[in-house]
A and B are shown apart, each in its own frame.
Chain A
Amino acid sequence: MIAEIGLFALILALFVAGVQACVPLLGAAQGDAAWMKVDRPAAVTQFGLVAIAFGALIWLHITSDFSVLNVVQNGHTDKPLLYKITGVWGSHEGSMLLWTFILVLYGLAVSIFGRDLPPALRARALAVQGMIGVGFLLYILLTSNPFLRVDPPPLNGNGLNPLLQDPGLALHPPFLYLGYVGFSMAFSFAIAALIEGRVDAAWARWVRPWTLLAWCALTLGVGLGAWWSYYTLGWGGYWAWDPVENASLMPWLAGTALLHSSIVAEKRDTMKSWTIFLAIITFSLSLLGTFLVRSGILTSVHSFATDPARGMFILTLLAAVTGGSLALYAIRAPALKGTGLFTAVSREGSLLFNNVVLSTAAGTVLLGTLYPIFMDALGLGKVSVGPPYFNLVLTPLMAPLVMLMAVGPLLSWKRGDLKSALARLKFAGIATFITIVLTWLVAGVSTRSLLASLGLGLGAWLLAGTLAEWGGRVKLFRAPFAESLRRAFHLPRSAYGLTLGHVGMALVLIGIAGSQAWQSEYLKVMHPGDVASLAGYQIKFEGLDAVRGPNYVATRADFVATENGHFVATMQPERRIYTAPPRPLSTVAIHTNFISDLYTVLGDPDNKGGFIVHIFHNPLVPWLFVGVLLMALGGVVALTDRHHRVGAPVRRTVPRIPRPALRLVAAGVVVTEEPKPSHGWSTMVPLIAFAVLAGFFIWRLHLASKGDTPNLIPSVMINRPAPQFDLPALTAGQPDFKTADLKGQVTLVNFFASWCQPCRAEHPLLSEVRAAGIRLIGIDYKDKPADARGWLADLGDPYRAVVTDEQGRTGINFGVYGVPESYLIDKNGVIRFKQTGPLTEKIIREQIVPLVEKLNR
C-alpha cells in the first residue's frame, strides 16, 4: 500500500509539475496576474507530493518491505538503521528520486523566500523549474520506477555493498545533488531573464546567494567523495580522474566561474550575458554528469546500472534543457548589455580572467572525459585518458589563475592599480620565495620535488596574499591593535567569505602538491612483532584480534607508531567479512597530526602467519580536506552576510541615473537608448557546438542499443607476425608447439583456461571449427595443467595440440587480456583475425570460415 501511495503521489506530482510549467508562463506572457499566481501553490503542492513519494520509499527501506524490488536489491534486515535510510539513494532509482526531491525543495524555497520577487520573473522561473520537474518525474516513472513490486517476495534482500555503508558516503550524494540541482536555480532564473529580455540588479541579487548555496553544497559533496575514497579505499590517494569524479568536477569548475561572475553582474551591472551563459552551462554540466553516470556510454568503476534506454531519455532531457536554453540565449543574449565600465586591470578584469580559466578548465575536463568515446565511435581506435593527462594539462592552466587570485581582490573596481596591489604583496612574494627554496632544499634537489616546491610556493603566495588583503582591510599593524580588532569585527561577512574561500583554496593546493611529491610508503609482509620504519616513525605490528561488528566479523591488527622512542599512536586496521552481502572489506587506520597522515592498511595473509602491510606517510593531505571545509565555510559565511541574505530584492522603480543626468534626460538632451542588439553570430557558437555533441551522443547510444558495447579493445597484432613462443604440451608425451610450427597451414590459436566460465560456453563450438578443416591449437592460459587435463577429459578435446602457458607470458606477448581469445594465423605465421571473448556460431560461419577460404586460396 505504501509503495502504491508513493507511486500515486509521483504521478500526481507529474501533473502538478505540468501545470506549473505552463500556466504561470502563459500568465507572464499575457500579463495575467491570476495565471501567474498559480506558480507558488503549484510549487508547494509539487513539493508535498514528491516528499510523500520520497518518504514512502524511505519507509519501505526502513521496514525492509521485500515485496518492493528496490528494497530487495539494496536492503537487508541486518543493516543498521542509518544505512537502511541512506541505502535509499544507494540505488539508481532512489537516487533519481532524491534528485527530484531536492529539485522541488528548491522550488519550495522560491515560493517561500521569493514572495516579493517581481511576479513575472518568479512565475517564469518557477515554470522553468516545473519543466525540469516534468522531465525528471517522467524519467522516474517511465524508466526507473522505485516502487515496482516483486512476487513472491524473498525472505531477505541483497544488501548494500559494505563499501557504501559509511557515513562519508551516506552524505556524499545528498550534498552532491544539493549542489547539482541548486544550480537549477541560477538556470531557471537565467531562462526567465532571457524570456523577459532583462537582467537587472534584482535578478543578480536573487541569483547570487542561491548560486553560493549550491556551490557550497557541491564543494562539500565533491570533498566528501574524495575523503571517502581516501579513508576507505586504502590506496593512499583521493582523486583518480575517473569519469564519474570528473562529472562532479566539471559543474564545480563552471559553478565557481558562475559564482564569481555573478558578483560582477550584481555589483557592477556588467558581464550579464556572460553570467547567464555560465548559469546555463553549469546546470547543463550537472545534467551531463547525471547522464554520463547512468547511460553506459562511459566505462567507469563507479557507474550505476547502465542502460541505453535510460541514457537516451536523459539525453533527450539534456538536449531539451541545454539546446533550448542555448537557442534562447543565441536569440536574446545580444540584447543584454551592461552599463558598468571597466578597464582590463580592475576587479572586473581579474574576475573575467578567472572565468576564462575556469571555463577552459571545465572544458578540458569534459574533453578528456569524452575523448575516448569520440575516438572509439569514430573508429579511430581506442585511447585512454588518465591522471597523467589531466595533471599535465590542468597544472599550467590553473597556475596563472592562482597567481592572479592573490592580486585580484586587491584591485579596485572599474580601474585598478596593479603597482600598488603588487606593492602590498611584497611580503607574500618573499614568503613564496622562501617556501620554494626551503622546501626544495629540505626535500632534496630533484625535478620532481622542484615541481612540488613550486606548487607549495603557489599555495604560500595565495595564502599570504589573501591574508595580506584581509590585513589591509583591518589596517593590521598600521593602526592601533584595538582599531584593527574593531575593524575585523565590522568587516562584512562577504569579505570573510572571500578570505576563507581563498585560504581554503591555498590549503587545497598545498595539500595536493605535498601529497603528490612527498608521499612515501612501506610495503612488506609483516609478522606480529615486526617493526616497520617509515618517514621517521617506527611502526610495530603488535598482534591480531578477532572482533565482531553488527553485520560483519573482522580480524583487527594492532600497530603502535613511535617516533624516537616516544609513543605516537595506536592504529587498528581491520579486515572485515560482511555477512550481508558476504563480502570482504579492509578498513584503513589513519593517524593524523594535521600536518601529515600515517595511513595503515592490513592486506592479505600470506598463509605463513604473516600479512601484507601497506603503510603510507601522506604529508599535507589533512590540509587538503581542511581546505575544502574552509572553502565551503567561506561560502556559508558569505551567505549569512546581510547583503546576500536570501531574501526579497525589490526592483527599483526609478532607473539608476545620477541626478544631474536625470535632468538631462528630462530635458531631452541625452537620449537613453536601448543598446542595439549587435550581430548575434557569436552567441550561436555554443548552440552549434552543443548540437554537434548531442548528435554524437545519439549516434553512440544508437550503437549501444544495437549491442555494440564500448568495452572491446581492438588488437594491434592484426597483420603482424605471431610472437615467438615455444610451449610445452599440456600432457607429457604429446608434441610441443612453437611459432615455427605455424608455417604452412592456417591455424586458429585458442587461449582458454579451466577456471574460465565463458570458455566452457565456447567449448562445444570448437569442434565446429575443427569440422571446417581449420587446424585448432589450444593454449591453456594461466592454469594448473592438472585442472586443464581434467577439464578436457570432461568436455572433450577438440584441439590438434594443446600446450600450456602457465605463467601467461605468451598470452601477454599475444596481447591477451581475458580468456577466451582466438587468433587466426595464416600460412606465413601472420595474425589475420582476433576474437576477444567467446566465439559464436555467427562469427565462425560469417567471419572465420570465409577468411580461412580466402587465406587457403
Chain B
Amino acid sequence: MTRRSRTAALLTALSVFAAVMVVSGPALAIRPDEMLANPKLEARARQIDKELRCLVCQNESIDDSDADLAHDLRLLVRRRLLAGDTDAQVKQYVVARYGDYVLLKPPFDPETWLLWLGPLALFGAAAAAATVYFRRNHAASQVAPLSAEEHARLAELLGISQPGKGDRE
C-alpha cells in the first residue's frame, strides 16, 4: 500500500471509532537512526521536537508523530543543531517556512494577547466576582444596631431590668 493511501485508510478508520489516539498503536515516533551521537545535542533536539507541531497529523508534536513529515522535520532540527543554530534559531527556521502554526507554544504577539493574558483576566474576573460576592454577603448580613427604644422593648420582653448594651452579632 502506498504511503498516502495507507494514511487515508487509517484516517477513515479513525473517524469511525471513538477516542483513538495516534495512528497505529504505539507511537514509536523517533527512530534510533535519526538520533544524534552527541547526547547533549540530542536532548536539545528532543526538547525542540516536543515544541513543534506535526502539520499533517493534527495536535501532535513531531516528537509524538510517526508521520513522514515529522521524520523529515526531526532530521531538519538535527541538521540545524549540527550547523550550530541555537534552539531559538532552529524554531525560527521552521517557522519561516511553515508559520507560527508549527509552534505548540504560540508566540506572544497581538493575535495571541488574549490567549496569554486571558487566564490572568479570568482570574481577575473570578476574584472580583468573589470579592463582590463576599462584600455583599457580608453587608447583607450586617444588621443595624438596635435603637434605644428597641433595647428597652427587648429588655422588657426578655425580662431584664437593665437595658443591655451592644448589638446583635
Q: A-side interface residues toward B, CB under 8 Å?
A: 73-74, 89-92, 95, 158, 160-164, 169, 172-173, 225, 229, 232-235, 240, 242-244, 270-271, 273-274, 299-306, 337-342, 344, 349, 352-353, 355-357, 359-360, 363-364, 367-368, 371, 375, 380-389, 392-393, 397, 523-525, 581, 583-586, 588, 601, 603-604, 612, 614, 660, 663-664, 667, 669, 675, 678, 682, 711, 713-717, 723, 753, 755-758, 782, 807-809, 811-815, 817-818
Given contacts A360-B126, A383-B115, contact A757 B18 (CB under 8 A): no
Pairs A–B under 8 Å by Cβ, sample size 6: A301-B22, A384-B59, A585-B26, A601-B26, A604-B31, A667-B157
- Let me know if A364 and B122 touch, CB within 8 A: yes
Least Cβ distance of B134 to chain A in Å?
Answer: 7
Contacts of B4 in A (CB 8 A): 753, 755-758
Contacts of A715 in B (CB 8 A): 99
- Let me know if A386 and B31 touch, CB within 8 A: no
Contacts of B50 in A (CB 8 A): 387-388
Least Cβ distance of A518 to chain B in Å?
Answer: 14
Indicate whether B154 reaches chain A with its CB closer than 8 angstroms.
Answer: yes
- Let me know if B101 and A782 touch, CB within 8 A: no
CA separation between A811 and B98, bound complex, in Å? 11
Contacts of B35 in A (CB 8 A): 523
Indicate whether B38 reaches chain A with its CB closer than 8 angstroms.
Answer: no
Checking A162, A581, A614 against B28 with a beta-carbon cut-off of 8 angstroms, the contacting residue is A614
- Let me know if A360 and B122 touch, CB within 8 A: yes
Indicate whether B106 reaches chain A with its CB closer than 8 angstroms.
Answer: yes
CA separation between A270 and B140, bound complex, in Å? 11
Contacts of A355 in B (CB 8 A): 126, 130
Contacts of A273 in B (CB 8 A): 133
Q: Which residue of B lies closest to A274 (CB)?
A: B133
CA separation between A371 and B132, bound complex, in Å? 29
Given contacts A355-B130, A384-B53, contact A367 B118 (CB under 8 A): yes
Contacts of B98 in A (CB 8 A): 713, 716, 815, 817
Contacts of A756 in B (CB 8 A): 2-4
Least Cβ distance of B109 to chain A in Å?
Answer: 10
Q: Which residue of A lies closest to B127 (CB)?
A: A356
- Let me know if B17 and A91 touch, CB within 8 A: yes
Q: Which residue of A lies closest to B98 (CB)?
A: A815
CA separation between A382 and B99, bound complex, in Å? 8
CA separation between A682 and B56, bound complex, in Å? 44
CA separation between A813 and B80, bound complex, in Å? 13
Checking A73, A352, A364, A664 against B134 with a beta-carbon cut-off of 8 angstroms, the contacting residue is A352
- Let me know if B122 and A301 touch, CB within 8 A: no
CA separation between A524 and B34, bound complex, in Å? 10
Checking B29, B60, B111, B122 against A367 with a beta-carbon cut-off of 8 angstroms, the contacting residue is B122
CA separation between A338 and B157, bound complex, in Å? 28
- Let me know if A161 and B17 touch, CB within 8 A: yes
- Let me know if B57 and A89 touch, CB within 8 A: no
Contacts of A397 in B (CB 8 A): 119, 123
- Let me know if A302 and B122 touch, CB within 8 A: no
- Let me know if B157 and A664 touch, CB within 8 A: yes
Contacts of A755 in B (CB 8 A): 2-4
- Let me know if A163 and B61 touch, CB within 8 A: no
- Let me know if A612 and B104 touch, CB within 8 A: no
- Let me know if A817 and B27 touch, CB within 8 A: no
Within 8 A of A (CB), among B137-169: 137-138, 140-141, 146, 150, 153-154, 157-158
Contacts of A585 in B (CB 8 A): 24-26
Contacts of A368 in B (CB 8 A): 115
The binding surface of chain A is classed by DSSP as mixed
Checking B18, B55, B146, B154 against A713 with a beta-carbon cut-off of 8 angstroms, the contacting residue is B55
Contacts of A359 in B (CB 8 A): 122, 126
Contacts of B60 in A (CB 8 A): 240, 301
- Let me know if B105 and A341 touch, CB within 8 A: no
CA separation between A384 and B4, bound complex, in Å? 24
CA separation between A225 and B30, bound complex, in Å? 24
Least Cβ distance of B83 to chain A in Å?
Answer: 13
Given contacts A586-B25, A756-B2, contact A383 B100 (CB under 8 A): yes
- Let me know if B104 and A386 touch, CB within 8 A: yes
Contacts of A753 in B (CB 8 A): 4
Contacts of B55 in A (CB 8 A): 713, 817-818
CA separation between A334 and B14, bound complex, in Å? 48
Indicate whether B136 reaches chain A with its CB closer than 8 angstroms.
Answer: yes
- Let me know if B20 and A356 touch, CB within 8 A: no
- Let me know if B103 and A384 touch, CB within 8 A: yes
Checking B14, B103, B130, B158 against A352 with a beta-carbon cut-off of 8 angstroms, the contacting residue is B130
Checking B18, B27, B32, B69 against A233 with a beta-carbon cut-off of 8 angstroms, the contacting residue is B27
Least Cβ distance of B169 to chain A in Å?
Answer: 9
- Let me know if B25 and A363 touch, CB within 8 A: no
Indicate whether B102 reaches chain A with its CB closer than 8 angstroms.
Answer: yes
Indicate whether B40 reaches chain A with its CB closer than 8 angstroms.
Answer: no
Q: Which residue of B lies closest to A364 (CB)?
A: B119
Please indicate which of the listed interface residues A357, A383, A813 has the most CB atoms of chain B within 10 Å of its own CB: A383
- Let me know if A163 and B104 touch, CB within 8 A: no
Indicate whether B19 reaches chain A with its CB closer than 8 angstroms.
Answer: yes
- Let me know if A664 and B154 touch, CB within 8 A: yes
Given contacts A356-B123, A663-B157, contact A161 B101 (CB under 8 A): no
Least Cβ distance of B100 to chain A in Å?
Answer: 6
CA separation between A341 and B59, bound complex, in Å? 48
- Let me know if B13 and A581 touch, CB within 8 A: yes
Indicate whether B36 reaches chain A with its CB closer than 8 angstroms.
Answer: no
Least Cβ distance of A632 to chain B in Å?
Answer: 20
- Let me know if B20 and A161 touch, CB within 8 A: yes
Checking A90, A604, A713, A811 against B99 with a beta-carbon cut-off of 8 angstroms, the contacting residue is A713
- Let me know if A233 and B21 touch, CB within 8 A: yes
Q: Which residue of A lies closest to B100 (CB)?
A: A383
Contacts of B31 in A (CB 8 A): 603-604, 612
- Let me know if B140 and A384 touch, CB within 8 A: no
- Let me know if B99 and A356 touch, CB within 8 A: no
Checking B5, B58, B69, B146 against A301 with a beta-carbon cut-off of 8 angstroms, the contacting residue is B58
- Let me know if A95 and B28 touch, CB within 8 A: no
- Let me know if A389 and B105 touch, CB within 8 A: yes
Least Cβ distance of B17 to chain A in Å?
Answer: 5
Contacts of B64 in A (CB 8 A): 235, 240
Given contacts A89-B18, A388-B51, A588-B26, contact A363 B105 (CB under 8 A): no
Least Cβ distance of B48 to chain A in Å?
Answer: 11
Checking A173, A339, A664, A711 against B141 with a beta-carbon cut-off of 8 angstroms, the contacting residue is A339
Contacts of B18 in A (CB 8 A): 89-92, 95, 164, 173, 302, 304
Contacts of B51 in A (CB 8 A): 386, 388
- Let me know if A229 and B21 touch, CB within 8 A: yes
CA separation between A683 and B96, bound complex, in Å? 46
Least Cβ distance of B125 to chain A in Å?
Answer: 8
Indicate whether B81 reaches chain A with its CB closer than 8 angstroms.
Answer: no
Least Cβ distance of A368 to chain B in Å?
Answer: 7
Indicate whether B114 reaches chain A with its CB closer than 8 angstroms.
Answer: yes
Least Cβ distance of B164 to chain A in Å?
Answer: 11
Checking B105, B114, B129 against A371 with a beta-carbon cut-off of 8 angstroms, the contacting residue is B114
Checking A225, A682, A723, A814 against B19 with a beta-carbon cut-off of 8 angstroms, the contacting residue is A225
Given contacts A306-B15, A389-B105, contact A341 B32 (CB under 8 A): no
Q: Which residue of B lies closest to A296 (CB)?
A: B15
- Let me know if B123 and A300 touch, CB within 8 A: no
Q: Which residue of B lies closest to A604 (CB)?
A: B28
CA separation between A843 and B22, bound complex, in Å? 33
Checking A302, A384, A523, A660 against B32 with a beta-carbon cut-off of 8 angstroms, the contacting residue is A523
Contacts of B115 in A (CB 8 A): 367-368, 371, 383, 385, 389
- Let me know if B28 and A234 touch, CB within 8 A: yes
CA separation between A811 and B150, bound complex, in Å? 89
Q: Which residue of A lies closest to B76 (CB)?
A: A812
Indicate whether B16 reaches chain A with its CB closer than 8 angstroms.
Answer: yes
- Let me know if A716 and B96 touch, CB within 8 A: yes
- Let me know if B8 and A757 touch, CB within 8 A: yes
Please indicate which of the listed interface residues B2, B19, B103, B116 has the most CB atoms of chain A within 10 Å of its own CB: B19
- Let me know if B24 and A384 touch, CB within 8 A: no
- Let me know if A678 and B136 touch, CB within 8 A: yes
CA separation between A755 and B97, bound complex, in Å? 24
